[in-house]
């Protein structure tokens, strides 16, 4: 288990404002939320989604997500190296991007968005196969970003199953 003494740098507001990569990888500061930074990061995706969904076509939104994923590989790699921890729990850009992907395909309404949030957090925390495999074996920025995309896939599949069962 990694302790705070193992970090080269202690994550703080000063740290995340020291470089744009740290600011993004820590989800604009949400990654500093004590106890559950992944949940805080996932919540940050909601206002981003609400803002972008009104302004972009679905195709444009997907292109933004591809760019956000690619940028995420770089910012998480850089921040992980600076901290000395390749997948620090405070790096939540992966949750933000993956949950934005989920929200694009989530049916409208509070019930569906809440269910999407709960399912995504479940899959991101539990990491069922093959998510756990990739989380343990893929390192660096790509590894940080990729396992959350798999959690998004599980979430979307679960939502589709629930939706088909209700129809």
| pLDDT tens per residue across all 167 residues of the chain | 445 455 577 899 999 999 999 999 999 999 999 999 999 999 999 999 999 999 999 999 999 999 999 999 999 999 999 999 988 999 999 999 999 999 999 999 999 999 999 999 999 999 999 999 998 999 899 999 999 999 999 999 999 999 999 87
Per-residue pLDDT, 167? 75
What one-character-per-residue DSSP string does 66-128 give? HHHHHHHHHHHHHHHHHHT-TT-TT--HHHHHHHHHHHHHSPSSHHHHHHHHHHHHHHHHH-T
Residues 6+ apart with CB under 8 A from 135: 87, 127, 143, 147
Tens-digit pLDDT profile for residues 7-40: 577 899 999 999 999 999 999 999 999 999 999 9
Rounded to a whole number of angstroms, the CA Rg of the chain reads 16
State the total domains in the chain. 1
Per-residue pLDDT, 1? 47
The residue segments making up the domain with residue 84 are 4-166
Per-residue pLDDT, 118? 98
């Amino acid at each position: 288990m990694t302790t705070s003494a193992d970090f080269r740098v202690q994550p703080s507001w000063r740290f995340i404002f020291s470089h744009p990569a740290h600011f993004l990888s820590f989800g604009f500061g949400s990654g500093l939320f004590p106890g559950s930074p992944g949940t805080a990061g996932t919540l940050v995706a909601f206002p981003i989604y609400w803002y972008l969904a009104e302004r972009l076509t679905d195709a444009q939104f997907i292109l933004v997500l591809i760019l956000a994923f690619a940028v995420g590989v770089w910012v998480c790699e850089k921040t992980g190296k600076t901290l000395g921890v390749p997948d620090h729990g405070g790096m939540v850009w992966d949750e933000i991007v993956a949950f934005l992907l989920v929200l694009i395909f989530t049916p409208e309404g509070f019930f569906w968005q809440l269910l999407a949030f709960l399912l995504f957090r479940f899959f991101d925390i539990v990491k069922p196969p093959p998510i756990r495999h990739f989380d343990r074996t893929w390192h660096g920025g790509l590894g940080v970003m990729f396992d959350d995309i798999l959690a998004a896939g599980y979430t979307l599949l679960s939502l589709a199953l629930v939706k088909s069962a209700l129809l």
